[in-house]
Amino acid sequence: MARHPADLGAGLAAMSRGHRDDPWTMSTGRTPFAWPAPEAAHPVTGRRVTVIRRMTGGYLDPDTEARLDAAIAWLDRQGARIRELDGRTIDWKLDAARIILRANQIERFGDLLRNRRDELDPSFARTLEEGAAIDVVALRRALADRTSAYRAVQTLFADADLLLTPTVATPAPLATQDQFAPLVVDGKPIGDLRAAWYSYAIPFNMTGHPAISIPFGRSRAGLPIGLQFVAPWHEEAHLIRLAEAFDAETGASLEFPPGFAPG
C-alpha cells in the first residue's frame, strides 16, 4: 500500500476523517487519525509479542519460517517479551469470513454476473456464484460468528501488545494459480489458498483489528517475504512506528525491482 511506513501514515490520515452521512465513520468519533503521530513508547522495547507460526494449515515454507525466526531474534534483541501460541488451537471462523465476503461481493458485483458473465475471470465468476447462493440465515449466523472471532482475538490481547505471524505461508505462487485449486509445493498439495496460504490475514479482515505486512527479506528464489503484525483496535500508529523500526533495520523501502530504481 505504500513504499515507506510514513507514507502509509499520511494516507491513513487523509482518509480517516468521518463524514456526517457515513455512520460507520461517524461512530469512530470526531478526532481523525493524525500523522505524524504523537511521540509514544518505543514500538518494540518492553512490548509483549505473541508469535503465531501456523493459523490453520500445517505447512510453513522453510524460507518464510527462517525469516520469521530472524525477526523474533531481532525483536528479542530490542527488548520485546516474546511467547509463542499454536494458532491451530483457535477457531478463527474462516467459513464465516468467507460467507460475509461473498455476500458483500455479490451485492457489489451482482450485475456483472447477471449481464457480463462471459467477460469475467472464471474464478471471479465462481466467487460471485457462491455469494448468490448464500441465504439470509447463513449470513446472520456468519455475522454472529464474526463477533465470536472478535472476542477470541480480544482474548489474545489480554496477554499481548502485538501478534506476529507470517503474512502468507509461502512466497507468492504463480499468477496462474487457481484460487479454488490446492496449492502445490514440491509436488504435494498443501490445501486450498484460504486455509493453507493466506489464512493469516483473514481473521483480522473480519474482526477489524489493525494489521500491517512488513517486508523482511527474500526467499532463496528471490521472492519477497512479509511478516504480519496485528494490534488492538485504534493502535494503527503503533503498527506504523513498528514498521518504521523494521525499515530502519532492513532498508526495504530503498529496494526496487530491476529496472524500476529511481533516476
The confidence score (pLDDT) of residue 138 equals 97
Average pLDDT, the chain: 93
Superfamily of domain 5-15+41-253: Amidase signature (AS) domain (3.90.1300.10)
Q: What is the pLDDT of residues 15-47, one digit of tens each?
A: 887 778 888 777 666 677 889 888 778 899 999
* Range name among 145-149, 190-194, 216-220 with the lowest pLDDT average: 190-194
* Ranges of each domain in the chain: 5-15+41-253
Each residue of 135-178: pLDDT tens digit? 999 999 999 999 999 999 999 999 999 999 999 999 999 988 88
Q: State residue 27's pLDDT score.
A: 66
Percent of the chain exceeding pLDDT 70 equals: 98
**pLDDT class for 133, splitting at 50, 70, 90?**
very high
Confidence at residue 30, expressed as pLDDT on a 0 to 100 scale: 65
Question: How far is 58 from 63, CA to CA, in rounded Å?
Answer: 15
